[in-house]
Amino acid sequence: MTVHTGLQQWIDSPAPSLRTLRLGLVSHPAAVLPNLTGAVDALRGAGFQLMALFGPEHGFGGAALDGAKVGDTTDPRTGLPVFSLYGQHYEPTDDMLAHIDAFVFDMQDVGVRFYTYLSTLFYILKAAGKAGKPVYLLDRPNPLGGKIVEGGEIEPGFESFVGIVNIPIRHGMTLGEMANYLNAEHALGAELHIVTMTNWQRGMWFDQTGLPWVPTSPAMPNLTTATLYPGMCLLEGTNFSLGRGTSLPFELCGAPWLDGYALADALNALNLPGVRFRPTVFTPSASNHAGSECRGVQVHVLDREIFRPVEMALHLIAIARGMSGENFSWNRHFELLTGGRAVRSAFEAGEGPGEVISRWAEASSRFGNLREKYLLYA
């Protein structure tokens, strides 16, 4: 049975009183109905008054590359102002708020702490709480399901736009559930209304929902990418290529100096659950080593139910770092993605991924218990 998203619910059973409100839509191209009608056309067609559009990282049109600042503009089809929440401002300003009576938030997330749509949601709730503007969140599935929690916490002082609140890397919540969590645990004070889905269950992966996948960002073309992303994105904190600028972002790892066969053999010898590694050669057109031939591995997920991408990525980094010698380097992004100094310090002190994963398991368990009261689906 097909999952009905919050957007579908609103279109099927619109509340007449909401049609009198001036609405600001926070969204992107992946927010569609099952027939691929986008949120703007769906809401306008149902008689809702959209007065402003708000875009996250990658912009309202979803075309900007990761980390690229986006400016305000005007939507050429509707003439509506498009305010960027990934440019000069992360939080809506008073001038932006003057256009609207309430927010509608409809975005397809991927269920990972450092995927920045979660941070945009945080700032929407914060601004709405201060301004007394209601927020109507139209919920969508967590593509990775809602059962598995993986990864550690954020150390004090390491909060950032890729780690806005202290939660594990893979949190196993929908954005509707996360909105309830953020609003309550961080006292944001928003008048929050969650338009829940029907037919979604926590054990569902996105390809079991009956919904069409639309890329959620330029480097997130499909569910396989999203499955690997919670772990492979950690490589952005190193000088390895993770396949940006290829047809397989987040599926590849390599560098000009690596021996892909040796790397694959070492990783496969670990017998990590649900995954195998194949030696490969690729030339990325963007990011690290753009234009240079890289040798490394392609990560193949064989059983996504037992596969743990964060654990896998720590092993990959540890082994590839050991093979790289002086060629290897970290960057500041690694500490922001992992949530502090602990992981890098552990590796540099000679600890293996097992010790890090053991400490993280405790944090994941604590969060798993804390999140229970905010879950909306069985």
Beta-carbon contacts of 253 under 8 Å, excluding residues fewer than 6 positions away, are 232, 235, 240, 241, 242, 243, 296, 297, 299, 316, 320
CB 8 within 8 A of CB 32: no
Pairing of strands 49-55, 22-27: parallel
How far apart, in Å, are the Cα atoms of 65 and each of 107, 219, 310, 331?
17, 8, 24, 19
14 pLDDT band (50/70/90 cuts)? confident
Q: What is d(CA 342, CA 366) in angstroms, rounded to the nearest whole number?
A: 18
Our CA dihedral for 237, 279, 110, 221, rounded to 10 degrees, sits at 110
Question: Mind giving me the DSSP string for 143-166?
Answer: TT-SS--BS--PPTT--BTTB-SS
Token digits of residue 19: 């049609």
CATH of span 223-340? 3.90.1150.140
User: Partners of 83 in the beta sheet?
Assistant: 54
Low-confidence winner among 8-22, 206-220, 302-316, 342-356 (lowest mean pLDDT): 8-22
Pairing of strands 275-282, 252-255: unpaired
CB 87 within 8 A of CB 72: yes
- Percentage of the residues of the chain whose pLDDT score is greater than 90: 98
Q: What mean pLDDT is predicted for residues 178-205?
A: 98
With 0.95 as the threshold, say if the pTM is over it: yes
141 pLDDT band (50/70/90 cuts)? very high
Q: What is d(CA 211, CA 196) in angstroms, rounded to the nearest whole number?
A: 16
Q: What mean pLDDT is predicted for residues 335-354?
A: 97
Beta-carbon contacts of 176 under 8 Å, excluding residues fewer than 6 positions away, are 6, 137, 139, 194, 195, 196, 197, 376
Q: State the Rg of the chain over Cα.
A: 21
**Averaged pLDDT of the chain:** 97
Question: Regarding the domain delimited by 6-217, which CATH topology (the fold level of the hierarchy) does it fall under?
Answer: Rossmann fold (3.40.50)
User: Partners of 193 in the beta sheet?
Assistant: 136
- Percentage of the residues of the chain whose pLDDT score is greater than 70: 100
Q: Do domains 6-217 and 223-340 have the same CATH topology?
A: no
Say if residue 16's pLDDT is above 90.
Answer: no
The predicted structure's pLDDT at residue 15: 82
Element (H, E) at 174: none
Say if residue 122's pLDDT is above 90.
Answer: yes
Q: What is d(CA 9, CA 102) in angstroms, rounded to the nearest whole number?
A: 18
Question: Mind giving me the DSSP string for 279-298?
Answer: EEEE--SSSTTTTS-EEEEE
E strands within the chain?
22-27, 49-55, 73-74, 81-84, 102-106, 135-138, 192-195, 252-255, 275-282, 294-301
* Residue 73 CB burial class (10 angstroms; 0-12, 13-18, ≥19): middle
Token digits of residue 319: 């082994």
Digit-coded pLDDT (tens) for 31-49: 999 999 999 999 999 999 9
Beta-carbon contacts of 226 under 8 Å, excluding residues fewer than 6 positions away, are 110, 111, 143, 144, 206, 216, 220
Residue 320 identity (one-letter amino acid): A
User: Partners of 300 in the beta sheet?
Assistant: 276
- Looking at residue 370, the DSSP 8-state letter turns out to be H
CB 183 within 8 A of CB 126: no
Digit-coded pLDDT (tens) for 227-252: 999 999 999 999 999 999 999 999 99
370 pLDDT band (50/70/90 cuts)? very high
CB 166 within 8 A of CB 132: no
The predicted structure's pLDDT at residue 1: 85
Pairing of strands 102-106, 22-27: parallel
Map out the domains of the chain as residue ranges.
6-217, 223-340
